[in-house]
Amino acid sequence: MASFPILTWMLLLPLIGALVILGIPRERVGTIRWVALGTSLGVLALGLGLLSGFDLSQPGPQFVHHWDWAPSIGAAYRVGVDGISLWLVLLTALIFPLALMASWSIEERVKEYMTLMLLLETGVLGVFLALDLLLFYVFWEFTLVPMTLLIGIWGGPRRIYAAIKFFLYTMAGSVFMLVAIVALWLLSRPLTGTGTFDPVWMAAHLSPLLSPAAQRWLFLAFGLAFAIKVPMWPFHSWLPDAHVEAPTAGSVILAALLLKMGAYGFLRFNFSLFPVAARDLAVPLALLAVVAILYGALASYAQDDFKRLVAFSSVSHMGFVMLGLSALNPLGVQAALLQMINHGLSTGGLFLLVGMLYERTHTRDFRELGGLWKVLPVYGGILMVVGLSSMGLPGLNGFVGEFLILLGAFGSAALGPAARGLTAAAALGVVLAAIYILTMLMRVLHGPLQDRWRGLPDLHVRELAIMAPLLVLIILIGLYPLPFFAAMQTSIQQSLSVFTQATLAVR
Amino acid sequence: MVTLTHYLALSAILFGIGAVGFLVRRNALIVFMCVELMLNAAGLAFVAASRYRGLLEGQLTVFFVLTVAAAEVAVGLALMVAIFRTKKTTNVDELSSLRG
Amino acid sequence: MGALFEWSWLIIAFPLLGFLINLISTGQTRERTVGVVASMAAAASFGMSVLVFAALLARPPEARLVEVSLYRWAIVPPLTAEVGLRIDPLSTAMALIVTLVGTLIHVYSIGYMAGDPHIRRFFMFLNLFLASMLLLVLADNFLVLFVGWELVGLCSYLLIGFWFEVPYNAWAGRKAFIVNRIGDFGFTLGLLLLFWTFGTFRYGPIFEAVEHRAVEAGVVTLITLLLFAGVTGKSAQIPLYVWLPDAMAGPTPVSALIHAATMVTAGVYLIARAHPLFAMAPFVQGVVTLIGAVTALWAALIAVGQFDIKRVLAFSTISQLGYMVAAAGAGAVGAAIFHLGTHAFFKALLFLGAGSVIHALEHAHRHPGDPSPFDPNDMRRMGGLAQRMPLTFWTYGIGAAALAGLPPLAGFWSKDEILISLRGIGGWATLAYGLLLGAAFLTAFYMTRQVGMVFAGSPRSHAAAHAHESPAVMTVPLGIFAFFSVVAGWINAPGLGALSAWLEPEHPPVFHPEQALLATLIALAGIGAAWAIYRPQAWPEGVEDPLRPVLRGFFTALTRKLYVDELYDFLFVRPFEKVARGVAEVVEPYGIDGAVNGLARLVQSAAGRVRRWSSGYVRQYGLSVLIGAVLLMFYILWMLR
């Protein structure tokens, strides 16, 4: 296994698939779809191989593949997977085939669409796998282009506005990250001669030398890029537009994966590189997270558009993730990481379900829906389960994440005296989640059925095949989260221990 | 005795003619020739200075300048032909489709 | 015998299996099969509960605690959460009540729900409910209890809104879930505090720590207060009782099983289960007792003004839950569980009797083909059903008498025990005692009113005149429940005291003849007063309710449930919607997105000015270059100076 660069193959496979698709005549839509799906399933297979070979006891990166492509400036191609990125990589490998299956209904420019999807897959995987700041930045920006095009070409009526807003907003944030990366490289130059982009080396040798003020500025520069991506309140306003206009698969990938890149960035870089700043800024971070939880939930309740409701619920859920991260203790951080997966499954699932409904009714307006459980019993049942998972019902995955995040934040030393008040406010978000999710279920499924919806077809086999893996995971994580936590345990413990040492050294 | 000053003065005059021509003429072809004139004025200055100081770098640079000028003319004339085909004119005042 | 306990998870697994079987067996299965499968699953669970109970009974009293660890749920330092069961007298007693009542109601539902197109879904939810309730009861830690607690809330939501085509039903289900979640907000915070105080969710270590006074009393006060917030939601106490009356939108067996006999008692069970914690917080005990007593009186009062046959019972349930909560708060766990058990039987009986009446009226109404809207729950359209539905009448009468607390029926004994337990504590408990006596009077009053309106006199509608007795599959469970409503009280009657011996061997039931006499007299007074007003001879034709002219405006207030729903609507619901609309329609587009788009516009207009520089004329570009070059040259010359 060690000699076979499995991670590099995971990155290359979608690129190869994209090249193959470019060689297929554009009329052969069926072939193009199957090649794309086959490629992404291949990535999933590699991902499962990764899981089977993963060593739980090892905290550091595994399956590392290293190539010094520019030793003169200390930049390297270095990919690896550890307990922090493992589940996100697997989530990516899982979501893409599902999103591609959900794209079967795309009829125009299939060739370009599938090519972009595969390019996007490489980009997202690269973000989670990169162990070099420059490489990370390249992949980070690389995801932006296909996503913007997916929104801008296959999107809804206001797609251009949404695509440009998405592109510029995220770009504006990542510029600051680039500046910070260059700054870190310049700072590392006197120590190494050539400078380096290796975050592990920086965490060990560079961060302790940084002054608290420098740490704070760099934290904020990285943090802005990540905060926009998460999105944290008040940087979230690109999200509803992008979600509403994006095609179904775009929304799914955006919610399930791209948002995770922001939270992942915080965990991977901000906390390990700037522990002192992280500790100092934990309370403001948590405060913004709590505002996001409540704000997203309130805004979500007042929507009449199904997709917009789910989009705002994302803001609320990602608030929980950020609250867990800012707790800076194993409970909060592990639960936050699990909640990222949960959110990918449940919100991704909700977007899929919205898309399936839209393909039938051609409307997402609650005022025109209602009573659909009568004609769509299977759809209704699945929407119920996924919705309940999203509102954190015990027995399903959402509860595990949310409850343990609250548990972690409640006893967080980093949040100090503010911990309990913030947690109590966040717990109010759970109540609000019940209100908006149950209202959504009521407005879609319950009530009298309009005559024009009589005879709508229930889910067919392809759609069931899309939802089945999500449902299995939603229930599995809810009932038995132990293995999911076990895989991330050692890595997170290590990253947090580095963090506490550094903090103690400065204090 | 022709001194360096003479060469430089000639170079300056040539450059001035080129610059003024570039600014006042309308025909794209002439504009081009003026650009060439400016380039060659610079080349002359290089060669003269090189000879004066007994160094080879200046003369070498002229080769580069000449090469670039040739390449530029090739591209520029091709563009000109293409533009003339579509717009039926070589008057630079009528070509402003790159306006921001 | 020990091996049996290892299998006690089957109590939960059987109904879950029933749920899964009915989930997988798509549409083709016959309607009857679905009900039978579900009922057998419930019966198997009851059988297993009996076995476990017997096994526990065989042990000496001090060894009656078995903890069965099932699997590790999550290990995230410092949390180690396991799913385990705690088999002890309290949990087995609850499991027996839940499975027995549950099984009977499953059987009854086969008849009641016959012909419903979604019967499969109904039985699935019923099975799922049973499994969740048993998980709640048998859990060995607060976290798993909370899981069951929320899942029963889910089933309640699904079943209230079972006939979701009617918007009111869906709305009522949502209301129930949301109100419960508001209570669970407190519960959640209580759990968080509990964990960071004790470092675990497990009952055993927590109770041990409390016993050794290893924690501060102040923290425990806060924890119990927060847990009690959850109780007010689930067990429908002031201020969160408002969901239960609307929960009657669900099918009647659901009202009987979930919203009377089992789920709503979960709060009482929680107080009983966490009794060591509550015992350490006398302040909270006082609060609990008083809220229970006030709720008992308040709900009994509202019940007097209701016309919906099930709604009267719903308020009666709230009131009786108040009794249990008050007793549990005062530390009388045995009395609370005793009343929980007897109440489960006679209230299930009353609901099923009401279901039988509704069922009969619906059929009689539909029979003549009258398409006009008709509310079969409205007691004003009933009357004279005693002759037409004798079995229902007699069993209902027994249930009503048991609820009113007439000796020697079940309610008499358990209510008596609660009242006795509140005496002699002093302070708030004495006040609660007085309130509960008042509630007892009102209970007898409204039950007599209901029986009078439904069964006595002459029919007040076409449907009531043509009603017939329900089929045997419905009346047989009525008979069984009637039997239990008579005898269930005897298991803890003074002298016998089996339940107390089981639950708290050190506290045998006491009996004060003067207390029993007082309670009986109060009940009789209530019955007498109601009969004086509602007997057919005193009730003139055409008068909606003879009490209305007596109480006037106050009666209207009672029928409107004392305007509490309106108050909450004004205080919470509408402000919430206003805030949410404000966020979505003002703050988001004009505030946050406005800032973003404003910034974009600013950049755009600045760019618009710069743009004019690029005129597209080669000449201008050339001049710009030239000027730039000249400036650069002067700069260099200046540098070299």
pLDDT tens per residue across span C23-81: 888 666 677 888 999 999 999 999 999 999 999 988 888 888 999 999 999 998 889 99
C and A interact (at least 3 Cβ pairs within 8 A): yes
Interface contact C616-B92, CB threshold 8 A? no
CB A351, CB A324: distance < 8 Å:
no
Taking only the tens place, the pLDDT of each residue in C433-453 is: 999 999 999 999 999 999 999
Domain boundaries, chain C: 1-140, 141-559, 569-607+617-640
Residues 282-341 of chain A whose Cβ lies under 8 A from any Cβ of chain C: 295, 298-299, 301-303, 312, 330-331, 334-335
Nearest CA in chain B to C612: B100
B and C interact (at least 3 Cβ pairs within 8 A): yes
Residue B67 lies in a domain: yes
Interface contact A302-C580, CB threshold 8 A? yes
Residue B4 lies in a domain: no
Which residue type does C29 have? Answer: T
- For residue C86, list its beta bridge partners: C67
Interface contact C616-B93, CB threshold 8 A? no
For the segment A460-484, the average pLDDT, to the nearest whole number, is: 94
**What is the longest distance spanned by two Cα atoms in chain B?**
53
To 10 degrees, what angle do helices C333-366 and C89-112 make? 0
Block mean pLDDT (10 aa), chain B, length 100: 89 93 88 90 92 88 91 90 86 75
- Confidence bin at A468 (pLDDT 50/70/90): very high
Interface contact C611-B100, CB threshold 8 A? yes
- Positions in chain C short of pLDDT 50: none
Interface predicted TM-score (ipTM) of this complex, two decimals: 0.93
Any chain C CB within 8 A of the CB of A425? no
pLDDT of B16 reads 92
Which residue type does C620 have? Answer: Q
Q: Percentages helix, strand, coil for chain B, rounded to the nearest 5?
A: 80, 0, 15
Interface contact C181-A295, CB threshold 8 A? no
Q: Is the per-residue pLDDT at A200 higher than 50?
A: yes
Any chain C CB within 8 A of the CB of A234? yes
- Confidence bin at A505 (pLDDT 50/70/90): very low
Interface contact B99-C615, CB threshold 8 A? yes
Any chain C CB within 8 A of the CB of A410? yes
Which residue type does C296 have? Answer: A
Taking only the tens place, the pLDDT of each residue in A392-422 is: 999 999 999 999 999 999 998 888 899 999 9
Q: Is the per-residue pLDDT at A503 higher than 60?
A: no
A439 closest CB neighbour out of C174, C184, C185: C174
CB A273, CB C632: distance < 8 Å:
no
* Residue among A304, A303, A394, A300 at smallest CA distance from A347: A300
Which residues in chain A touch residue C193, judged by CB atoms under 8 angstroms apart? 410
pLDDT of C113 reads 87
pLDDT of A498 reads 67
Count the alpha carbons within 13 Å of C591 in the hemisphere toward its beta carbon: 12
Residue C602, min C-alpha distance to chain A (Å): 14
Six token digits for residue C133: 């309730």
Angle at A362 between CA A361 and CA A363, to 5 degrees: 90
Q: What is the DSSP letter of C202?
A: B
Q: Report the 10 Å Cβ neighbour count for A458.
A: 13
Six token digits for residue C121: 């879904």
Alpha-carbon span A79 to A10, nearest angstrom: 11
Identify the three-state secondary structure at position B95: coil
pLDDT of A1 reads 43
A302 closest CB neighbour out of C154, C184, C581: C581
Interface contact A431-C182, CB threshold 8 A? yes
Which residue type does A459 have? Answer: L
Residue B80 lies in a domain: yes
pLDDT of B83 reads 87
Which residue type does C124 have? Answer: M
Alpha-carbon span C243 to C233, nearest angstrom: 9
Interface contact A427-C181, CB threshold 8 A? no
pLDDT of C504 reads 80
C76 closest CB neighbour out of A298, A303, A335: A335
CB C81, CB C62: distance < 8 Å:
no
* Residue among C442, C435, C400, C393 at smallest CA distance from C418: C435
Q: Is A179 exposed, middle or buried (0-12, 13-18, 19+ CB in 10 A)?
A: middle
Q: Is the per-residue pLDDT at A501 higher than 60?
A: no
Residue ranges making up the domain that contains B33: 27-91
Taking only the tens place, the pLDDT of each residue in C241-292 is: 999 999 999 999 999 988 888 999 999 999 999 999 999 999 999 999 999 9
Q: What is the pTM (predicted TM-score) of this model?
A: 0.90
Alpha-carbon span C530 to C442, nearest angstrom: 9
Residue with tokens 């009641």: C112
Residue with tokens 């004139």: B37
Any chain C CB within 8 A of the CB of A413? no
C174 closest CB neighbour out of A330, A373, A438: A438
Residue B73 lies in a domain: yes
B97 closest CB neighbour out of C616, C619, C622: C616
Interface contact C614-B100, CB threshold 8 A? yes
Interface contact C626-B19, CB threshold 8 A? yes
Identify the three-state secondary structure at position A370: coil
Identify the three-state secondary structure at position A391: coil
Residue C182, min C-alpha distance to chain B (Å): 59
Any chain C CB within 8 A of the CB of A175? no
Residue B55, min C-alpha distance to chain C (Å): 22
CB C153, CB C234: distance < 8 Å:
yes
Q: Prior bond to A469 cis, omega within 30?
A: no
Any chain C CB within 8 A of the CB of A411? yes
- Segments of A198-262 assigned E as strands: none
Which residues in chain C touch residue A371, judged by CB atoms under 8 angstroms apart? 164-165
Taking only the tens place, the pLDDT of each residue in A18-54 is: 999 999 998 899 999 999 999 999 999 999 999 999 9
pLDDT of C27 reads 62
Which residues in chain B touch residue C617, judged by CB atoms under 8 angstroms apart? 92-93, 96
pLDDT of B46 reads 92
Nearest CA in chain B to C629: B19
Q: For residue A78, what is the enclosing H or E element? A: strand A75-81
Which residues in chain C touch residue B99, judged by CB atoms under 8 angstroms apart? 614-616
Residue B70 lies in a domain: yes
Q: Which residues of B33-62 are buried (b: 16+ CB within 10 A; e: fewer)?
A: ebbbbbbbbbbbbbbbbbeeeeeeebeebb
Alpha-carbon span C170 to A497, nearest angstrom: 50
Cβ contacts of C123 within 8 Å, gap of 6 or more: C18, C22, C34, C35, C37, C38, C106, C109
Identify the three-state secondary structure at position B63: helix
Angle at C316 between CA C315 and CA C319, to 5 degrees: 90
* Residue among A103, A83, A38, A99 at smallest CA distance from A344: A99
Which residue type does A275 have? Answer: P
Give the count of domains, chain B: 1
- Interface partners of B (3+ CB pairs, < 8 Å)? C
Alpha-carbon span C95 to C24, nearest angstrom: 27
- CA Rg, chain C, in Å? 31
Alpha-carbon span A194 to C447, nearest angstrom: 90
Residue B1 lies in a domain: no
Q: Which phi and psi (to 5°) does residue C73 adopt?
A: -90, -50
Nearest CA in chain A to C146: A394
Any chain C CB within 8 A of the CB of A199? no
Residue A381, min C-alpha distance to chain C (Å): 10
Alpha-carbon span C411 to C408, nearest angstrom: 8
Any chain C CB within 8 A of the CB of A373? yes
Q: Report the 10 Å Cβ neighbour count for C541.
A: 7
* Residue among A272, A454, A310, A458 at smallest CA distance from A379: A458
Alpha-carbon span A210 to A197, nearest angstrom: 16
Residues 4-63 of chain B whose Cβ lies under 8 A from any Cβ of chain C: 19, 22-23, 28, 31
Residue B84 belongs to domain with CATH number = 1.10.287.3510
Six token digits for residue A440: 């959504």
CB C562, CB C478: distance < 8 Å:
no
Strand-pair category, A62-70 with C79-87: unpaired
Which residues in chain C touch residue B100, judged by CB atoms under 8 angstroms apart? 611-616
